Amino acid sequence: MKEINGFILSDDLTVIIDYKGNEKEVILPKGVKEISQYALMDKGFTKVTLNEELEVIGFRGLQGNNIEEIILPMNVNEVGSCAFNVCYNLKKITILNPKTSFIVDCFDHCYEITDIYFNGTYEEMKKAFYDEDEESWIYLSSDNVKIHLNDGASIKEFEK
């Protein structure tokens, strides 16, 4: 394991295993492709900037932080179970990759989400937000979520 700016990384520097720093606003190191399970859970972060190479946010990877906004870069293709669970201040999510796969409870207990910006069509959004294994839509704990599609359309509710 190696440490860069407080991040504990795998030997090949592609997986975040933990964070031992004191910063509340962090930028993931270049080259990191995965946030492993529990790696950044309950660290008190107020802002997390994900790097462009990131592909996977693992089980409870960012759970319990104080972030208000998250931008999921184009290479993110999987957001795991409880990845953002109990991020009570999370209000805005931007999803750049319309093919990202979301586990149904990845945003569970995020009561303040008001806007999701999805870089895709309605059909792509339905595919991304529907978990075929669970036969369920992702859970959105907030009643006031508006999903904005890249064609400028907004939808307040979608078939659940």
Segment 99-108 shows an average pLDDT of 91
- Specify the pairing of strand 154-155 against strand 146-149: antiparallel
- Could you tell me the pTM of the whole model? 0.91
Q: Which domains does the chain have, with CATH numbers?
A: 2-155 (3.80.10.10)
Q: What is the pLDDT of residue 132?
A: 74
Q: Residue 108 contacts by C-beta under 8 Å, 6 or more apart in sequence?
A: 82, 85, 86, 139, 141
- The span from the CA of 67 to the CA of 15, in Å, is 21
- The span from the CA of 72 to the CA of 95, in Å, is 5
Tens digit of each residue's pLDDT (9 = 90 or more) over 30-89: 999 999 999 999 999 999 999 999 999 999 999 999 999 999 999 999 999 999 999 999
The DSSP 8-state label assigned to residue 122 in this structure reads: H
Tens digit of each residue's pLDDT (9 = 90 or more) over 8-23: 999 999 999 999 999 9
